[in-house]
Structure formats: structure tokens, C-alpha cells
Structure 1
Amino acid sequence: MTDTHDPGHGNSPAAWVAVTIMLVAFAAGTVFFFLEQPALVWASAGLLVVGLIVGLVLAKLGYGVKGPKYAPKAHD
């Protein structure tokens, strides 16, 4: 069964930026946790929230999957 409706799966500039920021925050938080640096762990948690907010703001500005500034690439 094939579904011809492709929701985009978050493949947009807003999603890429948000996920990249959150991935860096999670990786940094893990390293800081291992190094027992609680202030930097909490700073990484704050950066994780910033990534979410940046993604939402970019989506509202039109860079989300259904936004006017998003040009999907053709799949082969």
C-alpha cells in the first residue's frame, strides 16, 4: 500500500535548524554531565529550549513544510 500524500516529514529549513541546535545542545549536555559541570548542563538544557523556539519562529516566518518560503525538492 503506497500513500501518495507526503507530509514532508519535517524536511524544511525550520526543522533542520531546530534539530541541529537541539542535537548540539543534547551532545554538549551529555559531555558536561559526564564532566560534572551542572551549570553547563543546565545551560545546555536552556539551549535545547532555544532550539525549539527557533524552529517554531522559523515555521511561523514561512520556512516550515507548508510555508510560502519553503521550496520542496523534487524526489527522483
Structure 2
Amino acid sequence: MSKTTVSASNAPATEASHGDAIGHGNSPAAWTCVIVMLVGALVCAIAFVIASTPIFIGGAVVMVIGLLAGWAMRKAGYGVGGSKLKNAGH
């Protein structure tokens, strides 16, 4: 293992400058993903409190479905900068 240290001047620049738009994910794909995953997390939390393993697993499955739905919507053009959300010039 190397004993070298990385100074701040040699560190890779990974932070965005203040002028760059950081993009908060305001898109139908992101909102759908988050809302479905929140419902799944709520189901998991309720199942944890009532000690029900099948319901807990069901909530986890709902969270995975939310992740896949967001990914599919992004691929379909509903993500940030997607083809379905571009302004038509009106």
C-alpha cells in the first residue's frame, strides 16, 4: 500500500462551480421513482412494526419496482432533458 498523500491542489476537481446548473431531477421519471419508492418504504416500515415478514418483502419489491419504473421512464424520454420534455418552441 502506498504511503503518499493527496493534497488539495492535486485532488481531482469533482465539485461543480457556482455557475453550473446541478439539475435536481425535476422530471416525471424522477417523481414517479421517488413516490413509488416512498410508498414501498412506508409499507416496509409498517410491516416492521407489526412484525410481518411477507408484507416487509412486499414493500421491498415495491421499492424495486419504483426504481425500475423510473429507469424505464427515463429511457422512454421522460427524464431530465428527455425527448418527451423538450420545448417545441411555442
Tell me which interval the TM-score lies in, with the shorter structure as reference length. 0.7 to 0.9
Equivalents in 2 of 1:41, 1:33: separation in Å?
Answer: 7
More helix per residue: 1 or 2?
Answer: 1
Equivalents in 1 of 2:22, 2:79: separation in Å?
Answer: 11
Report matched runs for 1:1-76 at 5 Å. 3-71=18-86
Q: Tell me which moved more, 30-39 or 3-12.
A: 3-12
TM-score by length of structure 2 reads: 0.72
| Sequence identity (%) | 37
Equivalents in 1 of 2:53, 2:29: separation in Å?
Answer: 30
Secondary structure of the equivalent of 1:58? helix
Equivalents in 1 of 2:86, 2:59: separation in Å?
Answer: 32
Q: Which amino acid is the alignment partner of residue 38 of structure 1?
A: T
Secondary structure of the equivalent of 1:65? coil
Instruction: Look up the match of 2:10.
Output: none
TM-score by length of structure 1 reads: 0.84
Instruction: Look up the match of 2:4.
Output: none
How many pairs does the alignment contain?
A: 71
Provide structure 1 residue ranges, at least 5 long, that are not aligned to the other structure.
Answer: none
- Cα RMSD of the aligned pairs, angstroms, is 1.6
Equivalents in 2 of 1:13, 1:36: separation in Å?
Answer: 34
